[in-house]
Structure 1
Amino acid sequence: MSVVEQYARAHIVTDADLPREGDEAVPVILRYDPETDPRSVLIRLPGAHEWTFSRSLLEQGLRAPAGSGAVRVWPCGRVQAVVEFHSAEGVSVVQFDAKALLRFLRRTYMATPVRSSAAHLQQ
């Protein structure tokens, strides 16, 4: 089992104190460490703001609105996905190309498959 780390570009809309560059996409790190927690993924935004949440939540949110605790994920049109994070500092809404998140999830399931969940990613 190995760590999966992928860089993606995302648009951040927030009322939290995060660095923003207008409407330009910013680099975001997607990370999965099966040794630490095989059921969770981590998203790190610029400024060392990071959230860890269920890998299955990310998968479910690519198909239909889903949420748990401080994290919400939903599809946005045919090619985008939105991840919303709530914290004491405010709300961060991050828009991704859904393909980047799907590619990341596929890589995590190759590192450590979980039941038949990976079959949903082939759709």
Structure 2
Amino acid sequence: MSTATVIEQPVHARIVASAPRAEPVRALLRYETGDPYAVRMAFPADATLEGADLAWAFGRELLSMGVERPAGDGDVRIRPYGYDRTVVEFHAPEGIAVVHIRTSEVRRFLDRIQGVVPSGQESRYLDLDHDLARLLRDAR
């Protein structure tokens, strides 16, 4: 089994609520070749209402489409906003979190992913034998 490559991109995010935060929060975009179809966006505890670290997983393709045009109709929705902003909406039973991030940072992250796992080649990075063995082991 090969070791997964991990790509992380710190981003400056601004959480928009009824009272927008005056200062950007630290957030982290993360991609792992072991889960080639997904990206994660993580927020540290001091940036969340619950006071705990929080991460959302969503499709790599959704992020890529969302910097160009509105995309998504589920828990995560992404759209361009203005010249160099991308809006990521996280929908949960507790409410909606709207996050603005610089499109240039998202594009840099997507370019780095593309250099490691080209679009359309994600299935080559799946370790189906390992995943099946884990499922069978967990079923016991």
- Alignment TM-score, normalising by the size of structure 2: 0.73
Higher relative contact order (CA 8 A, sep 6+): 1
Q: Which runs of 5+ in 1 are unaligned?
A: 117-123
Confirm or deny: 8 A CA contact 1:14 1:90 kept in the other structure. no
Q: Secondary structure at the match of 1:104?
A: helix
C-alpha displacement at 1:43, in angstroms? 0.2
Confirm or deny: 8 A CA contact 1:57 1:68 kept in the other structure. no
Q: Secondary structure at the match of 1:56?
A: helix
1:63-102 correspondence runs (5 A): 63-102=68-107
Aligned position for 1:9: 12
When the two structures are aligned, how many residues end up with a matched partner? 111
Computing the radius of gyration from Cα coordinates, the structure with the larger value is: 2
Instruction: Give the RMSD, CA atoms, in angstroms.
Output: 1.9
**Structure 1 stretches of 4+ moved >3 Å:** none
How many angstroms apart in 2 are the aligned matches of 1:101 and 1:85?
16
Instruction: Indicate the structure with greater strand content.
Output: 1
Identity of counterpart residues, as a percentage?
39
Q: Which runs of 5+ in 2 are unaligned?
A: 46-52, 122-140
Work out whether 1:34 is the aligned partner of 2:33: yes
Residue number among 36, 52, 73 corresponding to 2:57 in the alignment: 52
Confirm or deny: 8 A CA contact 1:9 1:25 kept in the other structure. yes
1:18-58 deviation per Cα after TM superposition (whole angstroms, max 9, x unaligned): xx9832111001000111x1011000123211110000000
How many angstroms apart in 2 are the aligned matches of 1:8 and 1:41?
14
Instruction: Indicate the structure with greater helix content.
Output: 2
